[in-house]
Amino acid sequence: MRPLLHFVFTLRVNSTVAWTNRHRFAILILMKPSLIVHGGAWDIPDEAVDACKSGCHHALTAGWSILASGGSALDAVEAAITILEDEPVFDAGYGSHLNADGRVECDAIVMDGATLRAGSAAALQRVKNPIQLARKILEKCPHMMLVAEGAERFAKDHGVKLCAPEELVTEAEWEAYLRCSKDKHAAEHHRGHEQGTVGAVAIDQNGHLFAATSTGGTCCKLPGRVGDSPLIGCGCYADSEVGGVSCTGYGEAIMKIVMAKTTVDFLRRPAICVDRTAAQSCNDSAADLAARDAIHLLAKRTHATGGLILLDCHGNPALAFNTPRMAYGYVAPDGSFFTAV
Ligand code: ASP
């Protein structure tokens, strides 16, 4: 008998992987991979713009080198977010905002669009790269979310790197914390370090979709506070049938409208529109409209600010924010990197 021949194409298709197996031929249609990242939506100060852009660029480089060589979307989002966590300009991992006790407390999540399963961890004080623990929980834990000491014990048992809590604290954040804790008008002292949460969404050539988010939360939060970021549907959501989303902004507001899942629902039913003007309805893609409608809903129902990134299931990127700035980057169809703040 003659061996099967495998013809491999790379193109963007509606159905992600298609096999045609007629006796002698098997045709595997591969998707063109896609990747988008963000580094928070806030009033990012001018001095931080270059560092935010280059952080996003490095994250794209790490994630894209995996996707472009046929690697998995899970590896790509983990690699991209690990870079962003290690970069002190962002509020995740090293350089996170400090809580009211002057300690870093991190949250992270990664979600698989095929199974709708997530791995999530919150209130971590000793995990160098929270996204790596979130992945271990996704892959090795019977539960979907672990917090605090139990999460750190799971990390240790599964070879995720722990560190001393002080190793996550940067001088800039310590100074901001001291200013905040000296004065009741704390909000004033938050000026100048409004960089944010990080996130990534990727689709690999096999059509697998993963979304992920990692954060140090809000500055001077109460110890034990958990925001939207590690909550499935709030700070992150992925459904291979429709798309994947990572959010940033005021966690307490984002939770109220379950923003990541709401955005995915808008993608599924693009006719649902909140507050759209006639001028906006013309040339925008369904992905653009879903992103924008979700941020409109955030503003309308909670009066808060935030942002989000998404990939629809065909790999089209979109983003929206109602803050002065958002740091983000994506890989354009020609393979070039676009970053902006
Ligand atoms: N959403 C995050 C939180 O509330 C903060 C952020 O996005 O910067 O924990």
For 304-339, how does the pLDDT look when each residue is reduced to its tens digit (9 = 90+)? 999 999 999 999 999 999 999 999 999 998 999 999
pLDDT value for 195? 73
In angstroms, the CA 80 to CA 204 distance is: 14
Closest CA to 245 of 314, 291, 299, 196: 291
Q: Supply 304's token pair.
A: 């808060």
What is the mean predicted confidence (pLDDT) over 108-128? Answer: 98
Q: Is the pLDDT of residue 278 over 90?
A: no
3-class secondary structure, 202: strand
Question: Is residue 325 within 8 Å of residue 43, measured between CB atoms?
Answer: yes
Nearest CA to ligand 1 atom 9: 217
Which of the two residues, 4 and 204, has the higher pLDDT score?
Answer: 204
Residues 6+ positions from 279 with CB-CB distance below 8 Å:
none
Banded pLDDT at 28 (limits 50, 70, 90): confident
| Residue to substitute in 218, 252, 254, 328 for testing ligand 1 pocket (most ligand atoms within 8 angstroms of CB) | 218
Nearest CA to ligand 1 atom 7: 248
- Tell me, using a 6 A CB cutoff, whether residue 40 lines ligand 1: yes
Which of the two residues, 268 and 135, has the higher pLDDT score?
Answer: 135
Element containing residue 84 per DSSP (H, E): helix 73-86
What number does the ligand 1 atom closest to the CA of 248 have? 7
pLDDT value for 14? 38
In angstroms, the CA 75 to CA 62 distance is: 10
pLDDT value for 7? 34
- Tell me the pLDDT of the chain averaged across its residues: 89
- Tell me, using a 6 A CB cutoff, whether residue 96 lines ligand 1: no
Q: If you measure from the C-alpha of residue 309 to the centroid of ligand 1, how many angstroms do you get, rounded to a whole number?
A: 14
In angstroms, the CA 339 to CA 341 distance is: 7
Residues 6+ positions from 214 with CB-CB distance below 8 Å:
81, 84, 85, 92, 93, 106, 107, 108, 109, 130, 131, 134, 197, 198, 199, 229
pLDDT value for 188? 57
Q: Is the pLDDT of residue 279 over 50?
A: no
Q: Is the pLDDT of residue 10 over 80?
A: no
What is the mean predicted confidence (pLDDT) over 284-293? Answer: 93
pLDDT value for 21? 54
Catalytic residues: 197
Q: Is the pLDDT of residue 8 over 80?
A: no
pLDDT value for 79? 98
| Residue to substitute in 99, 229, 256 for testing ligand 1 pocket (most ligand atoms within 8 angstroms of CB) | 229
Banded pLDDT at 192 (limits 50, 70, 90): low
Q: If you measure from the C-alpha of residue 251 to the centroid of ligand 1, how many angstroms do you get, rounded to a whole number?
A: 5
pLDDT value for 252? 96
| Residue to substitute in 42, 96, 222, 250 for testing ligand 1 pocket (most ligand atoms within 8 angstroms of CB) | 250
CA angle 300, 303, 306 (to 5 degrees): 95
* Pick from 1-15, 66-80, 186-200, 240-254: least confident: 1-15
pLDDT value for 23? 58
What residue spans of 199-285 are helical by DSSP H? 251-256, 259-268
Between the CA of residue 298 and those of 137, 248, 320, what are the distances in Å? 30, 11, 11
* Pick from 7-11, 174-178, 191-195, 235-239: least confident: 7-11
pLDDT value for 84? 98
- Tell me, using a 6 A CB cutoff, whether residue 194 lines ligand 1: no
Question: What is the percentage of the chain residues whose pLDDT exceeds 70?
Answer: 85
What is the mean predicted confidence (pLDDT) over 250-276? Answer: 84
- Tell me, using a 6 A CB cutoff, whether residue 227 lines ligand 1: yes
* Pick from 60-64, 89-93, 273-277, 297-301: least confident: 273-277
Q: If you measure from the C-alpha of residue 110 to the centroid of ligand 1, how many angstroms do you get, rounded to a whole number?
A: 16
Q: Whole-prediction pTM value?
A: 0.89
What is the mean predicted confidence (pLDDT) over 212-232? Answer: 96
pLDDT value for 108? 98
What number does the ligand 1 atom closest to the CA of 252 have? 4
Banded pLDDT at 6 (limits 50, 70, 90): very low
What number does the ligand 1 atom closest to the CA of 251 have? 4
Nearest CA to ligand 1 atom 4: 251
Convert the pLDDT of each residue in 87-110 to its tens digit: 999 999 999 999 999 999 999 999
3-class secondary structure, 332: coil
